[in-house]
Amino acid sequence: MTAARAIIHVDMDAFYAAIEALDHPQWRGLPLIVGELGPRSVVTTASYEARRYGVRSAMPTMTAKKLCPHALFVPVRMGRYRELSAEVFAVFGEATPEIEGLSLDEAFLDVTRSLRLFGGDVENIGRFLKQEILRRTGLVASVGMAHNKLLAKLGSELSKPDGFLHIRPEQVHAMLDPLPVGRLWTVGKVAEAQLHRLGIRTVGELRFSDSRRLRQACGNQAEHWQRLARGIDERTVDADSAEKSVSAETTFVTDLTRLDQAESWLARLGERVGERLRAHELRGRTVTVKLRKPPFETHTRQLSLGQPTDSTAELLQAGRALLRRWWESEENPRLRLLGIGMSQFAPELQSGLFAPAAGGKDQLADRINRRFGGGSLVRGVVLKSRRGQTEEK
């Protein structure tokens, strides 16, 4: 059953940086870093020219500047990235409806049922995806193909940039055995160190290791890891997993030390989340507030609502309650980062026959902001404090 599947993993090459170079041809070939230069900003992505100097995503931009002093730093333009992401996913939809989006620039596709339409060869579908994405967007995609998700993802990773690699069943051990164990799905840094202590450094060594000894040292995960080392992965492409949460967060150059400042920023972020919820016709039950104390101590607080909603007012009411509760519990509250999000999406419960239409004011505000630009109309509390430069995600 596993060998009969045809799975494709598509990962756009340096997606945000590639879009900036596409829109600004004079930047092509330069070490380009997407992310504002600041003491608390991080690299969103970097062009391959910048990566040669050791620049990586999530790295502080000040560190990236030291590694590559002549790099060009550009701000994030999420609206533009989403626009081109939609075009990329439209190409996916022409190959199969079974698409599991992992991010704006990455997805798994189950093309098993589409093989006959493309001559029975998964590589024909892979070539179609690469060529159509390039033709329609001017952007390059790396494509991995295999009979399961683990191997398809490895195919795109191992062949980047401009990758195209089909890992066939008879090639699995030759491809996997030399790789570091950390390349396997679910083997993170802690698990990798644990395996290293056992003398297991490659996937091949993991595959041939004594199962009993491994289980005694690593517990129930041991069997799972050895199955992966053999190239076995039975996960399905989950076409219903596109949107699990909607959130917005801000990192502050200067720590927030007053509750009114924090509430003002929370309101600003909540406006953005509410607008995204309504734009995607999503209603959620769970509100999450993310709080980070300096230097890097992160807390999250959650509250479940009585019924699903896309109302900014309801989102902020819950968010403020969570923020105040955390603030009052801290001896010396300071915030380096603040975020708010909505999750656990479900259909909205039907209100009473004569209840007023929900979201009327929100929808009016959304229309004004779409017409005149985001932030044109905001709640009064937002205007109380807009001090400090931030990196917004």
Omega before residue 161 within 30° of 0, cis: yes
> Three-state SS for 35?
coil
d(CA 386, CA 268): 9
d(CA 33, CA 46): 4
What would the DSSP string read from start to end of 80-130? HHHHHHHHHHHHHHHH-S-EEEEETTEEEEE-GGGGGGGTT-HHHHHHHHH
d(CA 40, CA 158): 32
Written as six digits, the tokens of 141 are 């995609």
Dihedral, CA of residue 200, residue 202, residue 206 and residue 208, to nearest 10: -110
d(CA 188, CA 181): 9
Catalytic residue among 36, 98, 100, 106: 106
d(CA 252, CA 354): 45
Taking CA 184 as the corner, what is the angle to CA 182 and CA 187, rounded to the nearest 5 degrees? 60
d(CA 232, CA 42): 36
- Catalytic status, residue 106: yes
Angstrom CA distances, 368 to 20, 78, 98, 250, 375, stand at 28, 20, 36, 23, 9
Angstrom CA distances, 82 to 15, 138, 187, 310, stand at 11, 15, 30, 21
- Residues tagged active-site: 106
